[in-house]
Structure 1
Amino acid sequence: MPKMSLSCALKASPIFFLLLISTLVSAKSKDVTELQIGVKHKPDSCDIQARKGDRIKVHYRGTLTDGTVFDSSFERDSPIEFELGTGQVIKGWDQGLLGACVGEKRKLKIPSKLGYGDQGSPPTIPGGATLIFETEVVAVNGKTSSEGKTKDAEL
């Protein structure tokens, strides 16, 4: 292994120090600037995918980047139902759930510009907040399974 001279090390130190600091700062910053979609579970069969204009039912847990839960349909056992892609929910959901299958679980990291923006949603969501949602699509246009059966038909 080659040895570095002291003068070389001293010259490299400020650059190394700046790189180290910038890496630590960016690692600490949990804010995102673009929508991030992570597929956590995808069913074996994906015959029904959510498209713009579809009525979908979604279970979700919303948290801030510090882990604070601000809302959860799982706790209420009541998924939200809305028309996808029509502005009934925040833009991060309209974009982040497109193409999701019935039964699919996604983790959405939503920048404030696709969430509640600079104004937030007081008192639970501060302005400029990045939002993290764990989502599960439970129905698309009344279909609750990828085979197209409704929940009542399965009983």
Structure 2
Amino acid sequence: MATSALAIATAKPLTHHFSNSKHTPSPSFSCFCSSSSRVPPPNEAKLSFNSKSAAKQCVVNVGAGLLAASILSFSPLDADATRIEYYATVGEPQCELNYARSGLGYCDVIVGSGEEAPRGELINIHYTARFADGMVFDSSYKRARPLTMRIGLRKVIKGLDQGILGGEGVPPMHIGGKRKLQIPPNLAYGPEPAGCFSGDCNIPANATLLYDINFVGIYSGNAK
């Protein structure tokens, strides 16, 4: 199961960075041409046969590399990756938040028509998580698959348990539903930073978190 900022404790550090944009370096190609022939003196303009062959091979290799790069740049895989990135950084339509006594803000973009979230069971959700300023720090869409999580047993932060399972005036989510959550620090990670590694923390202390939740379904591997 994917390591996620949803979990209260993670086995691996988060790798998300505080950046609104993702830069992918352009592919680069280098060709190291060598020849076993002697090195000509500076005033000798004529290349040996081996040097000519090596130079020609270098040009061919570079040309082949550039052709492969151009093919990849227009491939469906690259287009899919672009769409995944787009979905991960664009929020659901806005809706007016309601507030529970706990301080949790919630509203339904789409009210699902399927089964409601069962306590203690594994469910599949897609989500995008942001800070209060709108900056994305985690998203299942970037991994191109939903997250499987156990709901209602404190396996995730309190705000997600309540926001999906319901309680204290919050209705439970149903399969097919999409909900926005505003999770205050007391229902998230509290006064301590989270996702820390080597002194760098992805989630600062006392952070209010915003989630777009898409309840995909109940995990098929639950014990019956």
What TM-score, normalized by structure 2, do the two folds share? 0.46
- The alpha-carbon deviation at position 79 of structure 1 amounts to 1.4
- The alpha-carbon deviation at position 76 of structure 1 amounts to 1.1
Instruction: Name 1:104's counterpart in structure 2.
Output: 177
- The alpha-carbon deviation at position 92 of structure 1 amounts to 0.5
Instruction: Name 1:34's counterpart in structure 2.
Output: 103
Summarize the alignment of residues 126-145 of structure 1 with structure 2, pairs less than 5 Å apart: 126-142=204-220
Instruction: Name 1:125's counterpart in structure 2.
Output: 203
Structure with the larger helix share: 1
Please tell me whether residue 116 in structure 1 is matched to residue 189 in structure 2.
yes
State how far apart, in whole Å, the 2-side matches of 1:62 and 1:120 are.
16
State how far apart, in whole Å, the 2-side matches of 1:83 and 1:72 are.
17
The one-character-per-residue Cα deviations of 1:43-91 (angstroms, maximum 9, x if unpaired) are: 3xx2400021121111100000111110000121121112110011111
Distance of aligned partners of 1:47 and 1:139 in 2 relative to their CA distance in 1, 3 Å threshold: closer
Instruction: Name 2:146's counterpart in structure 1.
Output: 79
What TM-score, normalized by structure 1, do the two folds share? 0.66
Which letter does structure 2 place at the counterpart of 1:108?
Answer: L
Which letter does structure 2 place at the counterpart of 1:65?
Answer: A
Is the partner of 1:67 in helix, strand or coil?
A: coil
Q: Which runs of 4+ in 1 moved over 3 A?
A: none
Higher relative contact order (CA 8 A, sep 6+): 1
Runs of 5+ unmatched residues, structure 2: 1-101, 166-171
Instruction: Name 2:129's counterpart in structure 1.
Output: 62
Please tell me whether residue 51 in structure 1 is matched to residue 124 in structure 2.
no
Structure with bigger gyration radius? 2
Runs of 5+ unmatched residues, structure 1: 1-32, 144-155
RMSD of aligned residue pairs (Cα, Å): 1.6
Instruction: Name 1:94's counterpart in structure 2.
Output: 161
